[in-house]
Amino acid sequence: MSRSIKAVLSVFILLSVVISGATTMNKAAATTSTSVLSEDDIVYMILTDRFYDGDSSNNGTLGNEYRPGQLKYTQGGDWQGIIDKMSYIKDLGVTAIWISPPQQNELLSRDGSESGYHGYFTHDYNSTDPHFGSKAKLIELVNTAHANGIKVILDAVPNHTADYLNGTATSYSPSTYAPAAPFNDPSWYHHNGDILDYNNYTQLVNNDMGGLDDLDQSNPSAKAAILSAYSSWVADVGFDGIRIDAASSLPKSFITDFQTATGVPTFGEVFNGDVNFVSDFQNYEWGVLDFPLFFSSRDVFANDTSMNNLKTIFDQDYKYQNTNHLVTFMDNHDRDRFLNLANDNYKKLRLAMTFLFTVRGIPDVYYGTEQANYGGGVPTEYTGIANKENREVMPSFNETNINFKYIQRLAQIRKDYDALRSGTQREMWSDSFVYSYSRRIDTTAHEVITVLNNGYDSSTRTIPLRAESTIPVGTVLTNLLNTSQTVTVASGGVTGKQITVTLDGKQGMILAAGMVASYTPPTPTITKIRVHYNVGYGNSMYLRGSNYPLWWDKGRAMRNVSSDVWEFEMERIPAGTTVEFKPMINNDTWSTGSNYTVTGGTTVDVYPSF
């Protein structure tokens, strides 16, 4: 038998073994969770290097890849750090953690401008990254998570390695600058240069993403090696699901083979806002990250656009195989932080989280959202991928702050009401400011109604119940976010049953029938500045100040509430803290005189001169 025939047979046998799930395993060291990733889960995305440094001995070499304070380089977070903070993760109420890719990464990018801290500069698909810990430590992490009722999601990178092949080169130069075997075979890669048009699917699949060497999954040897590597990660470590990085750059048939080989549900990153494009990928795997809803909902809740934009997305839900397997989110490691875009408005954040936890799909919370991480406060994604300030080191693990408590409450509500996990979503009301929907399990009649007011002012709406609803007239519905608020179902409307709801500005209600344990939400510490001045048509008022979210060198736009009144609210300022500030017209004309002051937790009215 010739060597070439032996090689082909070897590849065929390996591929067959991988797909059948009969890869060599080390199950003795890893426990399995009670179930795999499902629509019942709440995901918490952790950028491992930025979460918590539990083992300083694996931090690397100072001045090379490990550069504390420089966010393009390694900061020291590791698997021991996640283990150390498992009780915090459990207390938040999430049921699954999505951690950074575990495999060994190249220390630095080709130009040295960043390290491989994030996990997407793959060097060795079959070894752990020493900055995170050993394989035994990773197994310990998964076992600890499982013992706390938390699943672990593997972030897989089957599309590319680090940038070893320069441009369209077909050989490594120098030969030592290459990925670990067996992935150091240049014939396993495409050599077509970078993707120039991200709307061109042929380029997405066959070209390099930002210079990263693009694996050719149609090469039988390459495909077998990829499937073997990731099947072993799942089998040896005990992962419960997989997020597939850059799924839109992979052949769709490969995605199906990948999920079959690994044996756990996968959801792909399809970085595109077009439902037609994204929905097709769910024909090839269990789930998909819901980028179309992300782009629309973030704009609605951070930038105050019309709630009807949500309707535009939901009206296309029929295009998906299963909308409850979509993974929904408000920000991530490639996009600006939500609070960054929302002028640090916590009310906006809480309303967006209410939407995230009640809408169809699996909510995914980016680490630090519960600690009001704001990614530097200055948007950066207009230059492309946001990959620095939005990847800040976790600032604290405070379980008493209002945003932690709010997400914790939402997680508990989602766990308590199965309609929010697997119910059919049906729209009840849509206008520029108010959006309402029902989640109902038709076989059991379990139903929860959500009403959201994205305006700044109090709004009242009379909303018909859905024709499918079996909630009878006279039923008292309780707001699960504040049980002192109730709504009674009345007769009338197009379906014969309706509710009249009054919501404060930037408020959401989650309404359910039946006995509900009393719950009073924590009271926010609101600091409000009101500037009284008529700036004239076409002009705006800005603020600068001494404490974030204000700066002295940049202005914050104020909200116009009447012809001569402008407002700005903050919750980040602790009660009793003194903040200096000055108003500015059009962010370029300072008010005259001395600085003004406001004390945290109070409202101040100022009448400046210009």
What is the average pLDDT value for the chain, to the nearest integer? 94
- What pLDDT is recorded for position 26? 35
Specify if 565 maps to a domain. Answer: yes
Q: How much of the chain, in percent, has pLDDT values that exceed 90?
A: 93
Same domain, 413 and 398: yes
Total number of domains in the chain: 3
pLDDT tens-digit profile of 402-416? 999 999 999 999 999
Listed in sequence order, the residues at least 6 apart from 86 whose beta carbon sits closer than 8 Å to its beta carbon are 144, 145, 148, 150
Same domain, 226 and 279: yes
Residue in 41, 65, 240, 245 annotated catalytic:
245
Specify if 506 maps to a domain. Answer: yes
Same domain, 154 and 109: yes
* Range with lowest mean pLDDT among 54-63, 98-107, 465-474: 54-63
pLDDT tens-digit profile of 95-127? 999 999 999 999 999 999 999 999 999 999 999
Same domain, 593 and 451: no
Higher pLDDT, 24 or 136: 136
- Parent domain of 465: 421-512
For residue 66, the 8-state DSSP code is B
Among the three residues 417, 443, 463, which one is the final residue of a domain in this structure? 417
- What pLDDT is recorded for position 32? 52
In angstroms, rounded to a whole number, what is the distance separating the alpha carbons of residues 339 and 301?
10
Listed in sequence order, the residues at least 6 apart from 1 whose beta carbon sits closer than 8 Å to its beta carbon are none
pLDDT tens-digit profile of 434-451? 999 999 999 999 999 999
Give this prediction's pTM. Answer: 0.94
Coil, strand or helix at 580: strand
Contact 217/14 with Cβ under 8 angstroms? no
Closest CA to 186 of 206, 158, 210, 166: 166
Specify if 94 maps to a domain. Answer: yes
Does residue 292 have a cis peptide bond before it, meaning omega lies within 30 degrees of 0?
no
- What pLDDT is recorded for position 384? 85
Same domain, 464 and 555: no
Same domain, 508 and 602: no
Same domain, 355 and 482: no
Confidence category of residue 382, pLDDT binned at 50, 70, 90: confident
Same domain, 264 and 304: yes
- What pLDDT is recorded for position 61? 87
pLDDT tens-digit profile of 5-19? 333 333 333 334 333
- What pLDDT is recorded for position 31? 56
- What pLDDT is recorded for position 12? 34
Specify if 238 maps to a domain. Answer: yes
Give the mean pLDDT of 272-280: 98
Which value, to the nearest 10 degrees, does the dihedral of the CA atoms of residues 391, 117, 292, 427 take?
-60
| Residue 55 annotated in active site | no
Same domain, 236 and 304: yes
Domain at 493, CATH number = 2.60.40.1180
Specify if 323 maps to a domain. Answer: yes
Among the three residues 390, 417, 444, which one is the final residue of a domain in this structure? 417
Specify if 301 maps to a domain. Answer: yes
Among the three residues 460, 485, 512, which one is the final residue of a domain in this structure? 512
Domain at 554, CATH number = 2.60.40.10
Residue in 106, 129, 269, 344 annotated catalytic:
269
Specify if 522 maps to a domain. Answer: no
| Residue 245 annotated in active site | yes
- What ranges in 344-468 are assigned the alpha helix state H? 346-358, 402-416, 419-422
Same domain, 413 and 435: no
Specify if 178 maps to a domain. Answer: no
Largest CA distance in the chain: 93
Same domain, 379 and 310: yes
Domain at 147, CATH number = 3.20.20.80
- How far from 331 is each of 342, 378, 449, CA to CA, in Å? 12, 15, 25
Confidence check: pLDDT of 233 > 90:
yes
In angstroms, rounded to a whole number, what is the distance separating the alpha carbons of residues 121 and 129?
11
pLDDT tens-digit profile of 178-208? 999 999 999 999 999 999 999 999 999 999 9
Give the mean pLDDT of 71-80: 98
Same domain, 437 and 354: no
